[in-house]
Amino acid sequence: MSKRVIVIGAGGHGRSVAEAILLLRQDELVGFVDDGAEPNAKVWTYPILGRTDSLHAMRALADAVVVAIGNNAVREKLHTQVREAGFELLTVIHPTAFVSPTAILGAGCAVMAGAVVGTEAELVEGAIVNCGATVDHHCKVEAFGHLGVNACMAGGSVLGHGAWMQAGSALGYGVQVEAGAVLAPGEARAA
């Protein structure tokens, strides 16, 4: 069933998530919420509906929300606000991404263009798998983990709660990254 969707975040990631929603043609994009937007601003033809502190007032406009903010701690905080306002947290999978039918995705995840989520992988709530990133078989991205563009997790590796793999970083087979860690662009961690 089609949902009316608000995207929180009108920056680069928010626009990319909104574009995926439009390409999927399953749900209706209602507009954006962004704390830094100018009054009466728009993204393309879609309005900025207000700030995150007024989400509860938007309940009649939409059924679901995607928190499209790259900052892991901010995204986690906003997930709580979205739930308190009574919205469903929507997971968005870009039409050019591949997600295994045996993978498990939590609420509010974003899997972007060209990304791969492999066999029996798990993305917990609020995870981001950005463009071209790979979460191989039996990997786990804990809540609010974030793989940047072309980041790669080899089979059985684990990205901890709120950890961030910046662009091009890589985890070897079975490697576990602690909660809150930040891997530099191109950094590799081996077992």
Q: Shortest CA distance to 95 belongs to which of 120, 114, 70? A: 114
Which pLDDT score is estimated for 17? Answer: 98
**In which band, very low, low, confident or very high, does the pLDDT at 10 lie, cut at 50, 70 and 90?**
very high
| pLDDT for residue 139 is more than 90 | yes
End-to-end Cα separation, the chain, in angstroms? 44
CA neighbor of 64 nearest in space, from 10, 2, 5: 5
pLDDT at residue 1, as a whole number: 84
Res 57: pLDDT: 96
In this model, does residue 117 exceed pLDDT 90? Answer: yes
Tokens of 68: 């499209």
Asked whether 163 and 177 are in contact (CB, 8 A), the reply is yes
Q: What is the mean pLDDT of the chain?
A: 97
H/E run at residue 7:
strand 4-8
By percentage, how much of the chain surpasses pLDDT 70?
A: 100
Q: What is the pLDDT of residue 39?
A: 80
What integer is the mean pLDDT of 35-55? 95
Residue 12: per-residue pLDDT: 97
Contacts of 49 by beta carbon, 8 Å cutoff, 6+ apart: 6, 30, 31, 32, 33, 58, 61
Q: CA 115, 136, 80, 17: dihedral to nearest 10 degrees?
A: 0
The angle formed by the CA atoms of residues 112, 17 and 19, to the nearest 5 degrees, is 105
The predicted structure's pLDDT at residue 43: 97
Model confidence band, residue 120 (pLDDT cutoffs 50, 70, 90): very high
Long-range contacts of 90-97 (CB under 8 A, 24+ apart): 90/3, 90/5, 90/27, 90/64, 90/65, 90/66, 92/17, 92/20, 92/21, 92/24, 92/66, 93/20, 93/24, 94/20, 94/23, 95/20, 95/23, 95/24, 97/129
Give SS3 for 182.
Answer: strand
What local confidence, expressed as pLDDT, does residue 191 receive? 84
pLDDT in tens, 46-96: 999 999 999 999 999 999 999 999 999 999 999 999 999 999 999 999 999
- Report the predicted TM-score, pTM, of the whole model to 2 decimal places: 0.97
Q: Cα–Cα distance between 34 and 83 in angstroms, integer? A: 17
What is the pLDDT confidence band of residue 109, given thresholds at 50, 70 and 90?
A: very high
Region 176-190 average pLDDT: 98
